[in-house]
Structure 1
């Protein structure tokens, strides 16, 4: 290994990033004034009397997300229209001014409490753009307002795993635009919720670059620090009030972290892993006309495999309807997805692991989960390889391989081969691995699978390998 390549492998995640990565799959709930008005981007100043979801059932929301296999939920506590889902002391434009529960309701509290009851982590989305607040565009005055609301959310509702910040930035009611004081916002999060990751327009978790659920062929967690620039992310995010952006796929910026892409940035790299976010429907908020356009279980499962199996986490939006309940079509799709994920995991084939050097640890028995003892190849191992022996022929249609990312992201190329009675064939190959790659291929009967690492930045350290049997 060259010194330059080893330096790339020396960049490591924080503890909060490690914990976030292991969550793998969690939900977004877009709900608010836009739900009542049928908009995606409300213009602000809508009458609070419009907000009256008489059958709101946060437990139904969270149960549906949990049934899909999710580990957390992020709520849109305030979208761009400025209407707050909690009774904020900083503005009168909130649920406290609505007829819902006679102005005594608090959607944020209900979702946070439901998440705890059902064992999910809770996160918050607070739009920096506010189309109602008079101080928007005033500079420090608006930053004071935003920080006051952020403080309320981070001190009233228990532990928060994520603060999700987008970069939408348009005119306020005064006709002015605001320059967001991102560093000040980050400092508040670090002080009040030090274990929370700050997503997208933040330093901890990177937007994958689209909202269609697409993933790069190779997703790298070690990237140039310049990618943390929130303004750059904002300029590439949604700019208009429509639902089509959620299905738009860009093809640029496909290589963010190969050795070639990092040339010249070796002294200014960060661990900045990717999140794949998309909606179960064309829009982010519920629209009755889209009730027949909920993504199918097959499509959702494919998105899951590509994201959770592509060194990313998967954030899936599921919007409740105006009555305060998820539509049955969404509930059914989530339940179907959960069954597919459970079945996929249950088809892991028991196997005995052997390695080309060192000891295998428990990498062949922990998936899904974290290894207690990873496999580190020997320093002089020129052909690092893990082999899984099944003891009998078995039809296989996928494999899982993951690095111990506490030691950085090291693997640059893996070839997966299968053997039946000593005859070998190539099943799959991939470049970057990182936390986890799930590789699928046509069902193939084999009795042995070998994971051959053909390129790495430093000595490979694997945390998991698994073979998934074909569905019957």
Structure 2
């Protein structure tokens, strides 16, 4: 009888354990994907011939000897990334121009043919060793598009690329991420054998996470602004899609697909400068700390990973302006997430799974995202409560799901206790690996996190509260059509000081008085900083470099289109859109009102996807009389403008002219019938 009771007890215990075990939900991440998500923030490096030619997309016809960094120091790159708080580096081992940063035996367009180290150098070897030294993970970008290789566009090319890929992935140690894009442009199209490419990756690097529009390891977020959707599922429907033009809709890339077929989390790519490759003209265009913070909270804070591009300069170093900004960002992030107030709280929950040793309320505030709390199987709505013995002030809330068991939470809200009553302060959707809410300052003794909807029992690993320091907003500099400059700052009581002589503004520089104007019709450089005297806080410096103002300009064609004036009004938020006709080309002609010596032009595209019409192929003409135009002063294409719609500067040999004509030859988006211009300007300085 005693033996029977023991058997029954054992069976009952086993049954209870089985009944309480948390079952995975939906598509699940691999161990490599979980580790990848934990990295959160790492560096992208664009480096190659484009660094020396001021191009975003090289044509593959560059003399390889142009690549000659005189002080290349991969240890400086790795040291900078480490000090910035980044966990790894992904480098453009081969971009679209086909230039290889290692001496590939499958190409004649490599560092071996360059002037750098007399052709004896290997950038990948140096960076791989530097990453190992500084405890960083190493990743590579290899573009399948090759504008140099003679086999591109033939039946043999896929094997050539596979061999090239195999060469890299078998030679430089562990690779945490293999970056692919689907670029397939120019006059020659190449059907890519993605199955073959993936087999090569996994043969050499079984734990590598493969990036593309459809993964399979992680996905492009659908923009190059570094911003994920406020709703962001790590799951994606991939059947019928392929990298590049065959990718999923932008909305799916940005938000994922609820109940998606595969676990393909979002990676948010963005450059610290306007372009991806280094250009001296962008030394003063490094993104502000405030902008980088917006990007951080829009990526890492929305269930994505942030890959921040920091281009290498022509000496072979990370430029001081970039590294300084990275350290400023690190300082703010460290201060923002230094003290987890939730650790001081008494944590309770309305529903906690019983008879499961792994599930504890205490795990919610232990600072370890590999432990978790969960509800019972049939409970998908619940509340976690943080109670404090004394009032606390917070403005950041961090939530994390235990993603190894799937992404579950569909919606949640946050309440605080205020004047004896609960007050809702936030209502959001998904959580995933990490969700960070930026909130106003709230002071309270009770915080409630309400899971209002979930696909299965919520499994939460972390709840954290922080009081981040306030930030001084970076000034914004604007100029009107007639050349009058104004400066604004969205910050409480800032004192703005500016200069027009190229020097850095300090408190002894001219004070900008709101609503006054600085007259610069002929162009010039304005620099500004915001200050708070009571704390000695100062914003990063912001610079605006203006050319001649369009005060005298008139649109001469298309005739009768009043909206065309929006292309030359000095305001990039207004956009001229051509009339809807069957096909390109479109053109805009402008009378400058005076004869100027032109050295180039600038095309600013719209960033509004709903407007569209971004121009890719162009021809730019000049004329002395508006009748005789001759050959174009410049022709070409705005590389990568669809994904990175930043102002495009094009230089040409100086020419005296009064009239200009921009012809839009091809659109950046297939099947687009219209062209648009947010701003057209000329370069005279």
Secondary structure of the residue that 1:277 maps to in structure 2?
A: strand
Given candidates 287, 296, 304, the residue that maps to 1:304 is 296
C-alpha deviation, 1:234, in angstroms: 5.8
Given candidates 125, 132, 139, the residue that maps to 1:116 is 132
CA distance in 1, matches of 2:212, 2:418: 45
CA distance in 2, matches of 1:215, 1:284: 19
Answer with 355-364 or 117-126: which moved more.
355-364
Q: Please name the residue that 1:147 is paired with.
A: 162
Asked if 1:192 is matched to 2:204, the reply is yes
Is the Cα contact below 8 Å between 2:23 and 2:405 reproduced in 1? no
Is the Cα contact below 8 Å between 2:177 and 2:211 reproduced in 1? yes
C-alpha deviation, 1:256, in angstroms: 4.0
Q: Please name the residue that 2:363 is paired with.
A: 362
Q: Please name the residue that 2:47 is paired with.
A: 31
CA distance in 2, matches of 1:382, 1:54: 60
Spell out, residue by residue over 1:104-144, the C-alpha distance to the aligned partner (whole angstroms, 9 max, x if none). Answer: 111111111111111110000001011110000002x1111
Is the Cα contact below 8 Å between 2:221 and 2:228 reproduced in 1? yes
Matches within 5 A, 1:175-186: 176-186=188-198
Pairwise CA RMSD: 2.1
Is the Cα contact below 8 Å between 1:384 and 1:454 reproduced in 2? yes
Is the Cα contact below 8 Å between 1:167 and 1:235 reproduced in 2? no
Secondary structure of the residue that 2:363 maps to in structure 1?
A: coil
Q: Please name the residue that 2:547 is paired with.
A: none
Matches within 5 A, 1:70-81: 70-81=86-97
Matches within 5 A, 1:353-432: 353-358=347-352, 359-366=360-367, 369-372=368-371, 374-381=372-379, 383-420=381-418, 422-432=420-430
Q: Please name the residue that 1:93 is paired with.
A: 109
CA distance in 1, matches of 2:67, 2:59: 15
CA distance in 1, matches of 2:362, 2:419: 26
Q: Which has the higher helix share?
A: 1
Spell out, residue by residue over 1:365-423, the C-alpha distance to the aligned partner (whole angstroms, 9 max, x if none). Answer: 21xx5233x10112354641211223211111010111111111110111111125643
Query: Given the superposition, is the C-alpha separation of residues 427 and 470 from structure 1 closer, same or farther in structure 2, using an over 3 Å criterion?
Result: farther
CA distance in 1, matches of 2:408, 2:253: 21
C-alpha deviation, 1:471, in angstroms: 2.3
Answer with 395-404 or 220-229: which moved more.
220-229
Query: Given the superposition, is the C-alpha separation of residues 102 and 379 from structure 1 closer, same or farther in structure 2, using an over 3 Å criterion?
Result: same
Query: Given the superposition, is the C-alpha separation of residues 292 and 382 from structure 1 closer, same or farther in structure 2, using an over 3 Å criterion?
Result: closer
Asked if 1:225 is matched to 2:219, the reply is no
Larger Rg: 2
CA distance in 1, matches of 2:219, 2:195: 16
Asked if 1:320 is matched to 2:291, the reply is no
C-alpha deviation, 1:251, in angstroms: 6.9
CA distance in 1, matches of 2:468, 2:193: 51
Q: Bigger relative contact order, structure 1 or 2, given CA contacts below 8 A and separation 6+?
A: 1
Query: Given the superposition, is the C-alpha separation of residues 461 and 163 from structure 1 closer, same or farther in structure 2, using an over 3 Å criterion?
Result: same
Secondary structure of the residue that 1:124 maps to in structure 2?
A: strand
Q: Show structure 2 runs of 5+ residues with no match.
A: 1-21, 353-359, 471-685
TM-score under structure 1 length normalisation: 0.89
Is the Cα contact below 8 Å between 1:280 and 1:294 reproduced in 2? yes
Q: Please name the residue that 1:333 is paired with.
A: 325
Secondary structure of the residue that 1:346 maps to in structure 2?
A: coil
Q: Please name the residue that 1:209 is paired with.
A: 222
Is the Cα contact below 8 Å between 1:356 and 1:381 reproduced in 2? no
Spell out, residue by residue over 1:299-342, the C-alpha distance to the aligned partner (whole angstroms, 9 max, x if none). Answer: 11121112101011011100011111111110111001111111
Asked if 1:161 is matched to 2:179, the reply is no
Q: Show structure 1 runs of 5+ residues with no match.
A: 1-5, 237-249, 263-267
Is the Cα contact below 8 Å between 1:443 and 1:470 reproduced in 2? no
CA distance in 2, matches of 1:361, 1:395: 22
Q: Please name the residue that 1:128 is paired with.
A: 144
Q: Please name the residue that 1:19 is paired with.
A: 35
C-alpha deviation, 1:88, in angstroms: 0.6
Q: Please name the residue that 2:357 is paired with.
A: none
Q: Please name the residue that 1:345 is paired with.
A: 337
Query: Given the superposition, is the C-alpha separation of residues 384 and 234 from structure 1 closer, same or farther in structure 2, using an over 3 Å criterion?
Result: closer
Spell out, residue by residue over 1:142-161, the C-alpha distance to the aligned partner (whole angstroms, 9 max, x if none). Answer: 11111111111111110000
C-alpha deviation, 1:7, in angstroms: 11
Query: Given the superposition, is the C-alpha separation of residues 306 and 297 from structure 1 closer, same or farther in structure 2, using an over 3 Å criterion?
Result: same
Q: Which has the higher strand share?
A: 2
Is the Cα contact below 8 Å between 2:234 and 2:263 reproduced in 1? yes
CA distance in 1, matches of 2:63, 2:160: 21
Query: Given the superposition, is the C-alpha separation of residues 426 and 115 from structure 1 closer, same or farther in structure 2, using an over 3 Å criterion?
Result: same
Q: Please name the residue that 1:450 is paired with.
A: 448
CA distance in 2, matches of 1:281, 1:436: 26
